[in-house]
Amino acid sequence: MEQLDVKQRESSIVLVGEFDPLVMTPHWFAKQGMIPQEDIDENLAIELVYKDLTKFSLANIQVEIQCTTLILRSDHPSFDYRIHDLALSILSALKDSKVRAVGLNQYADVHFDSLDSWHSVGNLITPKDIWFNAMPDSERIGMANVQMQIMKPKGEQGLYNVTVGWLETPKAIRFSINNHYDSKQSSSSVKQKAGRSGAFDPIAIITACWQQTLDFHEHLILSLLSQAKLEIK
């Protein structure tokens, strides 16, 4: 099998609710004990603090707060659980944030050595015959961006939104996953795993399902590449 490289990856946790960007400044995080003061002193880079948006970064963590959305992201694997812990700390501190949806996300950009192997993934995911039948005179038909929705096994709540698409970089494909939960869904199985009960509980969801999301993303990529007779180094 041809072996492939992952050139870039990112994990993120997205909370949808009610937030105050002017309050949630870097020094608010430090005051709450979520970020060590030395990190603020040595690694803080503030991009914007405004009534509708606060955006800053620390070492390998980016934080973005809008009035209805809070995003924590990192492009380094060793910080996956730092953003997990930070999300839990934020939710514990903001009792009135009225979070109504949680997205647990990861993407990886896989680079291919040859055009043939790159095309093999698109050919696997999007068979071309049905499209050539629709337009037989077309010179080329190929995958650009495909989104699939995967329902979880019976008894598990939430759903996976999976996107596979080519990048502007030659011979590269981004594999993205969004593990989505919202307050309209029953989340009894999530609470059972986390030992909680009651209404929609973002803390229980993140506690129970963050590692599950990371594991499924890796499994999904390996499964698709294996079926295309490829593997990651």
pLDDT tens digit string along 176-232? 999 999 988 755 555 555 444 457 899 999 999 999 999 999 999 999 999 999 988
pTM for the structure as a whole: 0.91
pLDDT score of 147 more than 60: yes
Element (H, E) at 182: strand 172-182
Percent helix, strand, coil in the chain, to 5, is 35, 35, 30
More confident residue, 7 or 188: 7
- pLDDT bracket for residue 155 (50, 70, 90): confident
Altogether, the residues listed in the chain come to a count of 233
Looking at residue 197, its amino acid is: S
More confident residue, 17 or 36: 17
